[in-house]
Amino acid sequence: MKAINQKQEHTGSYYAATVNEKTDYPELEGARTADICVVGAGFTGVATALTLAERGYSVALIEANRVGWGASGRNGGQLINGIGGLEKIRKKHGEGIADMLWDMKWRGNDIVYDRVEKYGIQCDLKSGFAETALKTKHLGYLEAYAEERERRNFPYPYEIWDKEKTRSMLGTDAYLGSFVCHRDGHLHPLNLCIGEARAAHELGVQIFEQSPVTGIEHGDKPKVKTANGYVEANSVVLAGNAYSLFEPKHLSNLVFPAGSYIIGTEPLSEDVVNEINPMDVAVCDLNEVVDYYRLSADKRMLYGGRCNYSGRDPVSIKASILPRMLKIYPQLKDVRIDFEWGGKIGIVLNRIPAVGRIHNNVYYCQGYSGHGVNATHIMGEIMADAIGGTMEKFDLFADVNHFRIPGSQWLGNQIIALGMLYYRMQDML
């Protein structure tokens, strides 16, 4: 079992250019011990490590590159409730778990809001998220969102905007309406991930960067090995997501990397900001293949979309994404593009995260299918609960039978790409 020997610095994203601090944790050298060893310092790994540290465990956190190097530090920065596959899990287990699943889908929001306040993390966290209707059938979703919140006495503000209100609040004629939730929101994901890692480190977590894991020696006390050292622990958590190549016997062809891409404009004028997003909400449309965008703290438009399931990156991210942005906002046609970047997200065929255990003491969790910021924090807590012996939520996900696409990862990506072509055609109808 080998990992990619990457040892790379951050991509040229807006987030990397505006990070509060550049991490410089040491490489792993020699023999170390910990109660738990976590592999991967993205949101899942960092959230798991921090939760365990808060509960008194000694933790070692190993990262091949830098904290937040993967999707956790490059994503759209949208804090949106939910985790993939909850409806399928509810259907399998019955209405008796419906209330638990409803609470679970909001747990990531709670964790992020609480930690930003508790640890003083400066990550530009703002409330407000609009889901926008592009087709008549989408309007029914907006009503259903409101009805569910009303039925459950949702304690945070939410509202439906009709076409006129949407035009006035988002400065575009593209949408038929919107649902706006003020418990969801947006943030600077890399600063959040680094801030949580800093909090974990201050609680005693040993963090190692630039330390690609080369293998795991299984046993009662598994050893997680790198080129220059190892960590011996009681339990291991694998949190590599789209970039993980660990345990191919158990995990191969469960999660497939898909490309997602974002452009960032120059800072927009106050007049333009007041025209296109005066409430400073994050936005995502209701298509199967979504576009999403928000304003940064310094009022740049960060516009993303065109998830690529084939495994091939576009020749030019700007050329790929800019026409999509201008279709919604033609008034930005003369705005300079300062940033363009992409990365990989982990896709699972049934959209339910792949969760489980290997030899009882090596846990894994990956494959959020684009539901990153919230879902990773939920799963970090579920991983910590499971290690502590509380398996109820872990088992809901571990009990899922995932279909593995036979053959190579390339073949799997092509099959997923064909499936997503169907959804793109549905979006166009």
Same domain for 375 and 238: yes
Same domain for 218 and 147: no
Question: What integer pLDDT is reported at residue 243 of this predicted model?
Answer: 55
Same domain for 327 and 269: yes
Same domain for 249 and 134: no
Same domain for 180 and 47: no
Same domain for 371 and 329: no
Can you give the CATH number for the domain in which 213 is found?
3.50.50.60
Helix (H) or strand (E) holding 301: strand 301-308
Give a yes or no: residue 261 inside a domain.
Answer: yes
Give a yes or no: residue 5 inside a domain.
Answer: no
Question: What integer pLDDT is reported at residue 258 of this predicted model?
Answer: 79
CA 77 to chain centre: 9
Same domain for 270 and 330: yes
Per-residue tokens: 324 = 């999509």
Give the range of the structural domain holding residue 137, as residue numbers without chain letter: 126-186+256-347+407-429
From residue 410, alpha-carbon distances to 59, 70, 311, 367, 422 in Å are 35, 20, 7, 17, 19
Exposure string for 320-353, b = 16+ CB within 10 A, e = fewer: bbbebbeebbeebeebebebbbbbbbbbbbebbb
Question: What integer pLDDT is reported at residue 1 of this predicted model?
Answer: 39
Q: Count how many domains the chain has.
A: 2
Give a yes or no: residue 327 inside a domain.
Answer: yes
Biggest alpha carbon–alpha carbon distance for the chain: 63
Same domain for 388 and 312: no
d(CA 179, CA 282): 12
Same domain for 422 and 353: no
Question: What integer pLDDT is reported at residue 429 of this predicted model?
Answer: 55
Same domain for 322 and 298: yes
- Per-residue pLDDT tens digits for 50-105: 999 999 999 999 999 999 999 899 999 999 999 988 999 999 999 999 999 999 99
Render each residue's pLDDT in the chain as its tens digit; 429 residues: 344 456 789 999 999 999 999 999 999 999 999 999 999 999 999 999 999 999 999 999 999 999 999 989 999 999 999 998 899 999 999 999 999 999 999 999 999 999 999 999 999 999 999 999 999 999 999 999 999 999 999 999 999 999 999 999 999 999 999 999 999 999 999 999 999 999 999 999 999 999 999 999 999 999 999 999 999 999 999 997 655 566 666 666 677 777 889 999 999 999 999 999 999 999 999 987 889 999 999 999 999 987 666 566 788 999 999 999 999 999 999 999 999 999 887 777 777 888 999 999 999 998 887 778 999 999 999 999 999 999 999 999 999 887 666 555 555 445 555 544 444 445 455
Please write down the HEC assignment for all residues of 51-90: HHHHCCCCEEEECCCCCCCCHHHCCCCEECCCCCCHHHHH
Question: What integer pLDDT is reported at residue 289 of this predicted model?
Answer: 80
Same domain for 231 and 219: yes
Can you give the CATH number for the domain in which 425 is found?
3.30.9.10
Question: What integer pLDDT is reported at residue 401 of this predicted model?
Answer: 80
Same domain for 317 and 198: no
